[in-house]
Amino acid sequence: METTLQPELHQHLQDAKARIDAATAAEELRAVERDYIDKGGVVAGLLAAITTLPPEQRRDAGQGANILKGAVLKALGDRKAELEAMAIDAARSGHGFDPSLPGTSIRRGSLHPVTRVTRELEDIFSSMGYDILDGPEVEIDVYNFERLNIPGDHPARDMHDTFWCEVNGAERDSNMGLLLRTHTSCVQVRTMERLQPPFRVVVPGRVFRQETVDASHEHTFHQMEGLVVGEGLTVGHLIGTMKTFLREVFQKEIEVRLRPGYFPFVEPGFELDARCPFCATPGAGCRVCKQTGWVELCPCGMVHPAVLQMSGIDTEKYTGFAFGLGLSRLVMLRYEIDDIRHLMGGDTRFLSQF
Ligand code: DAH
C-alpha cells in the first residue's frame, strides 16, 4: 500500500513509523496517535486540504489520507501488542511483577478421538479377560502375509496395496520384504509364537496402505485385531464375544448376523454385521446405516488350521477365532465424522472438539 502513496504521505508514514518503532511506553504511542490521527492531526489536516484541490485530484488525495491513517493505526496496534507481550515476558521472568496484567491462558489439549475410542474398547476387552498387545508398524513379509496363509503369489496380496520399505537402497528381496504393516493381523502370528494357549488378546494399532486418499480412504488408519485360541472354541464363541462387546459399547442388546467372507487366514470367514444402533426403531433404517438397518462391524472367522500350525500350535487340541475391528470406522460412526481425512489431518479446529 505504501508504494501507492504520494511522496509527501510516504514521508509522513516513515516519520510516524520511526516514532512508533522507537516507542517503549504506551504514552509515546498515544502521542503519535494524537499527532497523526486525532482532531487537528496530520490526517485531519490532509483531509481538510482536499477542498482546496482541483476536483480531479480530490479522489486520490482522499484515498491517500485514508491509507496513511490505516497504516499508522495498524503500526500503533502492532507495537502496542508487542509492548504488552514484552511486559508479560518480563513479569514472568521475574523482572517486576504487574498484578494488573491479565493472566496468560493455558491452552489445554484433549485426547484424539481415535485414542478415546481405543481406550474405551481396551477397557471393555480387558473386562472380558483380554490382554492388550502391541506390535511393530514396520513388519516383515513373513508376519504380514506368509504365516497368515498369504504366500507370495496369492491374489489376496492385491487387496493390500503395500508400502514396501527400501533399506540402504536394498529392495524387497534382500531385506526380508520389509514393509509397513497393512493390517494388525500380523500381530496374531507374533502372539501365537510367544504365548501358550489358551489366550485372548486384542491389538489396537496403526496400519498403512498405498491408497488413493478420499473421504473414505486413508493411507494411514487404525484397526483393532482380536485373537482367541483355546480348547473347543467354535463360531458360537465368536458370536457370543461380539454380542457381549456390542452390549458393553452401546449398553443394550444388539442383534448380529454373519455373511460369508473370504480371508486366507480364517476358515470359515465371515463379515459380521450389527443391527444399526442408531436407528430410532431397530432395523428401521437411518442415515448412519444408509437405510439398511445394519452396519458392517468387522470381518472375522475361525483361525485357519494352517495358520495355527505354521506358528506351532497343536490343531488337534486347539482352535481359535479372530476378528479385525475397523477402529477408524468405529470412531467415524461414533462421532458421526463423514470424512476419514479428518482423523489424521492434525487440524486443531477439528481436534479441539473432542
Ligand atoms: N486383516 C484383515 C484386513 O485388514 C481383516 C480381518 C479379516 C481380520 C478377518 C481378521 C479376520 O482377524 O479374522 O483386511
Domain chopping of the chain, boundaries: 2-92, 113-135+182-351
Let me know: does 281 contact 295? Beta carbons within 8 Å. no
Q: Ligand 1 atom closest to Cα of 159?
A: 14
Residue 21 CA to residue 29 CA, distance in Å, equals 9
* DSSP label at residue 37: T
**Tell me, what amino acid is at 160?**
H
Residue 217 CA to residue 235 CA, distance in Å, equals 31
Cell of 98: 504487574
Q: Ligand 1 atom closest to Cα of 185?
A: 1
Global confidence as pTM? 0.72
pLDDT (tens place) for every residue of the chain, 354 residues total:
444 678 888 999 999 999 999 998 889 999 999 999 999 999 999 999 998 988 898 888 899 999 999 999 999 999 999 998 888 777 777 666 778 888 888 888 899 999 999 999 999 999 999 999 999 999 999 999 999 999 988 988 888 899 999 887 776 666 688 999 999 999 999 999 999 999 999 999 999 999 999 998 999 999 999 999 999 999 999 999 999 999 998 888 999 999 999 999 999 999 999 999 889 888 899 988 889 999 999 999 999 999 999 999 999 999 999 999 999 999 998 898 999 999 999 999 999 999
266 CB within 6 A, ligand 1: yes
351 Cα to the center of ligand 1, angstroms: 29
- CA-based end-to-end distance of the chain: 42
322 CB within 6 A, ligand 1: yes
Cell of 137: 508398524
Q: Ligand 1 atom closest to Cα of 182?
A: 4
- 113-135+182-351: which CATH number, 3.40.50.300, 3.40.640.10, 3.60.21.10, 3.30.930.10? 3.30.930.10
33 Cα to the center of ligand 1, angstroms: 69
The conformational region for residue 111 under phi > 0 = left, psi -120 to 50 = alpha, else beta, is beta
- Whose C-alpha lies nearest to ligand 1, atom 3? 183
297 CB within 6 A, ligand 1: no
Residue 163 CA to residue 36 CA, distance in Å, equals 63
Residue 44 CA to residue 33 CA, distance in Å, equals 12
Annotate 50-74 with three-state secondary structure: HHHCCHHHHHHHHHHHHHHHHHHHH
Question: Ligand 1 pocket test: which of 265, 271, 272 has the largest number of ligand atoms within 8 Å of its C-beta?
Answer: 265
150 Cα to the center of ligand 1, angstroms: 12
What are the residues facing 208 on neighbouring strands?
Answer: 220
Cell of 236: 458360537
